[in-house]
Chain A
Amino acid sequence: MCGIAGLYLKNRALERQLGALFAPMLIELSDRGPDSAGVAVYHDPIDEDGLKLTLYHPDPAFDWDGLTEFLEEEAQLSAEIQPIASHAVLISDGDEASLRPVIEGYDPELQIMSLGRVIEIYKEVGLPAEVCARFGIGSLQGSHAIGHTRMATESAVTTAGSHPFSTGLDLCLVHNGSLSNHNWLRAQIERRFGIHCRTENDTEVAAAYLTAKLLDGLSLHQALEAAIGDLDGFYTFCVGTGAGFAVLRDPIACKPAVLAETADWVAMASEYRALTGLPGVERAKVWEPQPATVYSWGAAA
């Protein structure tokens, strides 16, 4: 099963309420996915020449100050680290090529959940309500959020196997369904683009596929149109980029999705009941996205 949800704000005045509007959407989808939950939130963009990373370490007592010191003194990279439960947001003036080997070499259990200028990803094993509380999702501000409640089918119930998946700068993807040609695609993408998937999860391959297409110069909308031909399996995707938001269902369209739009926001969810708390939903345009049709907003087109 699995539940997915996304909220893209068109009215900037609502940005202070992003988390307050989004957390109840995700929690409403708990019985579609009680194993784990995750949220990608787009907020607080940093300067052009810096990088924002979300890091995860399974040890609650992990010494984040030690990592800051190591990055600054040993690796000569600036580091500003803000721990949030098992995760931490790191802002640095380093680039991916300099930061990734240093971070992954520092502690093999340290994982990079997201990289970019805008995105932060928080995901954990547990009920969506617990995960939202742990990371304070309800009080987050920002322009858009994408989330997932997981009922695992393709790989183990772990934090790393939870969604959203991010494989490129500021890009993330959540998925309801299962892909059938992900092993073949994983090898292709790694060989042709050097994009390395870090888990056995099928969804990570879909995220890597989009990253590869964006590197090829396609827009997110075009990349998703190409995905209809190249990805085999069942999927409803909700995808975010730094300033874009998109939804795609496979041609068979077994996996449910509802879209709703007002002048102030665009929302998608596996089921309508997740949208009932949004302001003005009674007057929203509500529809079921067509099979094999890309819907995109913002800088996705």
Chain B
Amino acid sequence: MSAGAANLIELDLAESSLRAVNQTLQRHNGKGEDGHYRILRPNGAHALACGLDAPLTVEIAGHAGYYCAGMNQAARVTIAGNAGPGVAENMMSGVVRVQGDASQYAGASGHGGLLVIEGNASSRCGISMKGIDIVVLGDVGHMSAFMAQAGRLVVLGDVGSDFGDSIYEAVLYVRGRVASLGADCIEKDMQDEHRNDLADLLRLAGIEAETGEFRRYGSARQLYHFKTDHAGAY
């Protein structure tokens, strides 16, 4: 561990174990303490900066492996590279920013907070999201927002096949082309309230884009209600 400029603490994964680095960060958990850390030479390590519960600022100076910033609460984690599968999985609050691309199931089952992916996200982005907001500047892969329950997913690029399959009440905004919609996912009107909602979210993510260029998608609500008319089919 070495102190850099203005309270910045650098942790070098070539010198410290992953567990030691994560424990240094997690020592702040539950105490409401802030702090500024930079993790050097991450080299694709798994589970970096996981389980944080303090308003820390954490910079990861390179590519991260599986499950980076999982279960995040309150912390601001920035990955200066690509993220492996499951980045910000089950996030509760805080901000996770990926400056490169994200692999499969980014932001899966997240309850809150904001995930910004500056590059592309691959398949299953926002699967089972439960309140998290996700903004992707590039494209997202197939089966994104599968069974998405709550929260918002914004995609500035294109979307792969079966978008929003079996979606519940999450809201999806897309600027590019959607390859195909999944079961029970439909395009909906883009009204002023939605443009305002999207503008707020883009501002929060630090992104400039014309809200009028986006389309909105959501649930047709035909799949998740049990209908007594169909009782015989069950």
Contacts and interface: CB of A to CB of B under 8 A. Distances in A.
B82 A286 contact: yes
B40 interface: no
A272 B84 contact: yes
Interface residues of B, number: 17
Interface string A260-291: 00000000000111111000000000111011
Contacts, number: 40
Contacts of A291: 123, 141-142
A152 interface: no
A274 B141 CA distance: 24
Interface in B31-59: 43-45
B103 A253 contact: no
A226 interface: no
Q: DSSP class of B's interface residues: helix, strand, loop or mixed?
A: loop
A273 B84 CA distance: 10
A290 B65 CA distance: 18
B63 interface: yes
B123 A253 contact: yes
A279 to B, nearest CB: 15
A46 interface: no
B43 A276 contact: yes
Interface string B119-130: 000110000000
B122 A272 contact: no
B44 A272 contact: yes
Contact of A271 (B84, B100, B104, B141): B84
A271 B44 contact: yes
A273 B123 contact: no
In the complex, the 10 A-B pairs of residues with the closest C-beta atoms, listed nearest first: A273-B44, A272-B44, A276-B43, A272-B63, A288-B122, A273-B65, A288-B103, A273-B43, A253-B123, A271-B44
Contacts of A272: 43-44, 63, 65, 82, 84
Which of B45, B63, B85, B104 gathers the greatest number of chain A CB atoms within 10 Å? B63
